[in-house]
Amino acid sequence: MKNRVVVTGIGVVSPIGHGREAFFQGLKEGKNGASLIEAFDTTEYTTKVAAEIKDFNPELYINKKEVKRMDRFTQFAIAASKMAVEDGQINFDSVDMNRVGVIIGSGIGGIQTLAEQHEKLLSKGPGRVSPFLIPMMITNMASGQVSMEIGAKGPNTTVVTACASGTHAIGDAFKAIQRGDADMMFTGGSEAAICELGMAGFCTMKAMTTRNDDPLTSSRPFDVDRDGFLMGEGSGIIVLESLEHAQKRGATIYAEMVGYGATADAYHITSPAPNGEGAARCMTMAVNDAGVEPSAIDYINAHGTSTPYNDKFETMAIKTAFGDHAYNLSVSSTKSMTGHLLGASGAVEAIASIMAVHDDFVPPTINLHNQDPELDLDYTANVGKNKTVNYALSNSLGFGGHNGTIVFKKFEI
């Protein structure tokens, strides 16, 4: 018999607020994280806007000496994990740490460290490259460092599936608890790619918005004037626990996780499959895993990147997976507020979905003033709404054709 899995702790570092309460309040208010980039000179860049985190002090969470040995994406992950520990009121002295695991996804990992050290290699030679280059850069180090910080000795892995990384990490952690490999998992995603190299790569792909004259409207999912995604950064970490373990320690339960789907488009390195057929199969797999009918789903946190093809094909996928019920669903893209956090996006959006279930509130898609006539679902334009959300589904669709879908429901004994 499979273990039931519940959400008992939430931590988030985001462009619109840090911590569970500040983050979800930001979503409720339709807070906008977009601005002109301040991290570096964007004179030669076609995109000059992003959703930067400008108020993050890693020394609030990490020893000053250790901060210098960690890439920004790892710093975000540790901060979010420590917030989740506090939010979940976890006393590790009374927990079997051999059965506490960590799975944190990241699409790009330590790209800032890689770029900085490569520049040093070219200017000063190989002997001046930091001995911490490799352990700072490698993508698994967020999971590794979090496990060391909290003493988790259970399953410890990393998922790298581009923009689906955070969602797949949560799905894998869910299954680990279901089958009895762990009692508690710290899971989610982390990303920090707003740097010269990261932005240059996406600029030359022509994947990002170039709405530099009006940053606050640069991310506009499902709008006819959408022109590309807005880069964001941050981390979302949730604590998943077996129901039995959570009840024994008297934990607060935000929601129950009940479904996970993962499929491949097998189509193109960056473009989604025509008509969103891979995403549709993924949603159907997750709903089937949850053991409910498609009509049970109340809210979908869409991948909703604000790119022409993604928004169109994801809408088509929702219609394929849900049939007529697609028109009863509330859909929204919180990327309109946070930007696209790449490998961390699915984790931050999982938190938005969990809180939608917990608070019975659907966050909005801001900047949706001229809805694309081809996209005819209820995208919760501009203003969030109170609505009973018994089941919420969250989608992530990554470069390489990686699709991930997870489902949360209201917790009932």
- Return the pLDDT at 316: 98
* 303: annotated active-site residue: yes
pLDDT in tens, 112-159: 999 999 999 999 999 999 999 999 999 999 999 999 999 999 999 999
Q: Confidence class of residue 395 from pLDDT cuts 50, 70 and 90?
A: very high
Query: How many Cβ atoms from other residues are within 10 Å of residue 86's Cβ?
Result: 13
Q: Confidence class of residue 359 from pLDDT cuts 50, 70 and 90?
A: very high
pLDDT in tens, 275-333: 999 999 999 999 999 999 999 999 999 999 999 999 999 999 999 999 999 999 999 99
Q: Which of 18, 245, 340, 358 is catalytic?
A: 340
Tell me if 171 sits within 8 A of 185, measured CB to CB: no
pLDDT in tens, 17-50: 999 999 999 999 999 999 999 999 999 999 999 9
**Which residue, 169, 147, 139, is CA-closest to 346?**
169
**Which residue, 266, 194, 268, 256, is CA-closest to 33?**
194
Length of the chain: 413
- Return the pLDDT at 1: 84
- Return the pLDDT at 360: 98
Q: Confidence class of residue 256 from pLDDT cuts 50, 70 and 90?
A: very high
**What is the Rg, in whole angstroms, of the alpha carbon atoms belonging to the chain?**
20
* Distance, first Cα to last Cα, the chain: 17
Nearest-10 Cα torsion for 120, 108, 13, 367: 110
Percent of the chain topping pLDDT 90: 99
Q: Which of 163, 195, 203, 282 is catalytic?
A: 163
What are the two backbone dihedrals, phi and then psi, of residue 368, each rounded to the nearest 5 degrees?
-100, 85
Overall pTM surpassing 0.85 (yes/no)? yes
Q: Which of 245, 303, 358, 402 is catalytic?
A: 303
* 369: annotated active-site residue: no
Give me the helices (H) in 88-154, please: 111-124, 133-137, 141-150
pLDDT in tens, 167-198: 999 999 999 999 999 999 999 999 999 999 99
Q: Domain extents for the chain?
A: 1-400
**Rounded Cα–Cα distance for residues 229 and 208 (Å):** 5
- Return the pLDDT at 75: 98
Could you tell me which CATH class the domain 1-400 is placed in? alpha beta
Q: For 373-390, what is the mean pLDDT?
A: 98
User: DSSP per residue over 43-80, as a string?
Assistant: TT-S--EEB---S--GGGTS-HHHHTTS-HHHHHHHHH
Mean pLDDT computed over every residue of the chain: 98
Q: For 387-410, what is the mean pLDDT?
A: 98
* 282: annotated active-site residue: no
Query: How many Cβ atoms from other residues are within 10 Å of residue 292's Cβ?
Result: 16
- Return the pLDDT at 135: 97
**Rounded Cα–Cα distance for residues 184 and 173 (Å):** 9
Which amino acid, 351? I
**Rounded Cα–Cα distance for residues 51 and 41 (Å):** 16
- Return the pLDDT at 114: 98
**Rounded Cα–Cα distance for residues 391 and 282 (Å):** 16
Q: Which token pair is 241?
A: 């626990």
pLDDT in tens, 73-110: 999 999 999 999 999 999 999 999 999 999 999 999 99
